[in-house]
Structure 1
Amino acid sequence: MKAADRLGPGGAFGAISRTPRSERGRAKAQAEGAIPDYEIQRLPLNRVALCPMNPRRYYGTEEQREALGQSLAKKQTTACVAVTRAAYLALWPNHVRLIGEEAEFVLLNGERRHRSASQVGLEVLDFVVRDDLATSPADFMDYLMAENEDREDFNIIERAMGLEQLLKACDGNAAEVARRRGRDRSWVGNQILLLTLPSAIQDRLATGEMAERYGRRLARAYKDDKSLTTDGLLALEEQLKEEERAKRIAQRDALKMLSADNIPAPAARPAVAEPSQASVLSADNTTHETEPGRGVAPAAVAASAPEMLSADNTGRPAAPRDEDAGAPVPDRQEPVDRPAETQQAPLPRQTPAPDPTPVPTARQLVQALGATVDEQAATLRAGLDSDGFLALVEVLHAHV
């Protein structure tokens, strides 16, 4: 913003006296470079008409305007913007009565300051006259929208009204409106469609009682069925809210499924036991613990296990015990071939029982998060911290 757009050290009322230059003196000063193309002028408020094209309707409470007016009486930090009467009527010649016979300027930016100053009895404010912003109706309305859109109290319906006026100024070219506002055509159409809703619904949107996303859905439904009443539209809003609640519950359930504690770990393969002296396999395939203090005592195992199974499950004579060291040892006998039906069958390999809890696939987990990528991302953001997100990545990688 140029320095001439702001008030300098002399911005406080009464600090200096600003008198408008004559047209000839102004033109000469501009040609010589003594002043910019526009300069701050102190204008009487009764000579500046409020803009009929301004879509803004709410300017704060009376108490808020009173406080702003008292602040302006001490110091005005930003000049208002206006255009000359001739420049405005060149765009809207049928607004002669709307701006009045006495108005020499039409306000373009600063209506809240104008109203607040008038409320506390101020007679003048600082202005910048910018006829270069009134070269076309589209430029004028585009500037109005740019000034209002960033204001917190510029509500949804006011914005829709401004877009509708800008669309008219652009001869109905929605693509041009979208280009000027940095949006797409569908957004422009959905905003303007809100103005077709019954006034009671528009009031709820303007005050924030109804969310804009519901307003857009209701406007599309009302466009398709003009027989819908206000009560019918409010019932549809409740239905949409209930659908969203059900969706949020489903998303929370999906997050529970994605929790690391609720996903069964892959079953570990049974380890092959190494042969050791701590475990003796008896003839009935029963393992006896031989660790002191656990299971059967070593002596009991030796007494109850006359045979040890070899690797091929063939019975071998038991080794002599310490207490039998003095007894004669019989001659070693060669193994006798037994009939096939009496030979010990190989031990069957036991497989682990299947886990009764099914493991969801990656596709099922992703679908449980939401129908679209945006919904899935929102679900993850709402329910996972950084550690949970890393755990989720590992789980999805393992199940892809």
Structure 2
Amino acid sequence: MATKRTSFADLGGAIGKNSPIGGAKIRETNKPVTAGAEGVFLANVPVEKLAGNPRNPRDELKNLEDLSSIVDVQLQPGSAVTRETWLKVFPGDDTEIGEAEYIVVTGNRRLAAAREYGRPGLDVVVRDSLAASPASVLTSAMLENIAREDFDVIEEAKAVEMLVKELSTAAAAATMLKKSTAWVSTRRALLNLTPELQEKLRAGELGVREARALVKVPREEQVAAWLAELERKEAPPVPPEDSKPSPSDAEKNDDEDRPEVTPVDKIVKAFKNAKADPETATAALEEFFDPADLIQIKHLIKG
């Protein structure tokens, strides 16, 4: 299948305003570029000349099915740095990047998808300013990934921690990421969770708010605290001892339809239940009332 590519004229419309190359003055060339290049568009660079970012904050690139269409069309170029510039900042990466001429700083999933689905070349914009320092490389990769749904919060936390160590302070990292210091502190704190709870957080079984509370618990007690909270949430609510269930509307209607029960009715019902004959009923009255009351009852009966 022939590979389709957007034309350079359409490139501006294909790149979002938050793209790493947004706002750059881009010139197009098919010739190799040297160190210090800035805003140079290279079309269809063979994938064997490209290396993925060894400082990519992602633990793994995950499922690439959403990028399978790259075999036919690439809507947005990656951002790359020349080999010479990269090795000035990271001299120890020589073996890891192999013979690659360019290192892809942002667009690593696109590069991986191109390799997986058989696209021979990838469009990139060379911007050596992205590798001005280790911090700038990490920040560029983070800003691209933070907004992505599949960039999980622990990957984010690890990247934030790396940036804080690189810049020495959390405030500096917050400034680079255009985030608040509270956001940075929250992400770093999540790394104090046990590995089990970090995996639950990645899987969505544990929310960030709950995780923040568990961070305050000693590590050896965190899992037990989480399980106890789950059990508490799943248990049915216990009503207070002095509370009584409210009658339903049907019960209220039934009560309204029932005739009022008087004391006389209750006594008669008791006699009926006991199957009391006149002698038994009289004996019961004599047992319950004193002689003066019985005389009054006789007068009431006679009228």
TM-score w.r.t. length of structure 1: 0.49
Q: What displacement does 1:144 show? A: 1.1
Instruction: Give the match's secondary structure for 2:125.
Output: strand
Note if 1:194 corresponds to 2:204: no
Match of 2:67?
68
Q: What displacement does 1:58 show? A: 4.0
Q: What displacement does 1:242 show? A: 6.8
**Shift in CA distance, 185/9, structure 1 to aligned 2, threshold 3 Å:** closer
Q: What displacement does 1:141 show? A: 1.4
Structure 1 segment 178-327 matched on structure 2, within 5 A: 178-222=174-218, 226=219, 228=220, 232-240=221-229
Whether the 8 Å contact between 1:79 and 1:126 is mirrored in structure 2 is yes
Q: What displacement does 1:22 show? A: 5.0
Distance 1:156 1:192 in 2: 10
Whether the 8 Å contact between 1:66 and 1:120 is mirrored in structure 2 is no
Q: What displacement does 1:60 show? A: 3.8
Q: What displacement does 1:48 show? A: 1.0
In the alignment, structure 2 segments of 5+ residues that lack a partner are 1-6, 15-27, 239-303
Identity %: 33
Q: What displacement does 1:245 show? A: 8.8
Match of 1:294?
none
Match of 1:82?
80
Q: Over alpha carbons, which structure has the higher Rg?
A: 1
**Shift in CA distance, 238/5, structure 1 to aligned 2, threshold 3 Å:** farther
Whether the 8 Å contact between 1:82 and 1:109 is mirrored in structure 2 is yes
Whether the 8 Å contact between 2:44 and 2:121 is mirrored in structure 1 is yes
Match of 2:52?
50
CA-atom RMSD, angstroms? 3.5
Instruction: Give the match's secondary structure for 2:185.
Output: helix
Residue of structure 2 aligned with 1:127, choices 124, 127, 152 = 124
Distance 2:161 2:179 in 1: 14
Whether the 8 Å contact between 2:39 and 2:126 is mirrored in structure 1 is no
Whether the 8 Å contact between 2:29 and 2:41 is mirrored in structure 1 is no
Q: Give a deviation string over 1:378-398, Cα, whole Å, max 9, x none.
A: xxxxxxxxxxxxxxxxxxxxx
Note if 1:112 corresponds to 2:116: no
Instruction: Give the match's secondary structure for 1:153.
Output: coil
Note if 1:97 corresponds to 2:95: yes
Whether the 8 Å contact between 2:29 and 2:42 is mirrored in structure 1 is no
Match of 1:271?
none
Aligned length: 220
Q: What displacement does 1:241 show? A: 5.3
Match of 2:295?
none
Whether the 8 Å contact between 1:5 and 1:40 is mirrored in structure 2 is no
TM-score w.r.t. length of structure 2: 0.63
- Bigger relative contact order, structure 1 or 2 (CA pairs below 8 A, ≥6 apart): 2
**Shift in CA distance, 233/118, structure 1 to aligned 2, threshold 3 Å:** same
Distance 1:220 1:84 in 2: 45
Match of 2:266?
none
Distance 1:146 1:5 in 2: 26
Distance 2:97 2:66 in 1: 27
**Shift in CA distance, 235/194, structure 1 to aligned 2, threshold 3 Å:** same
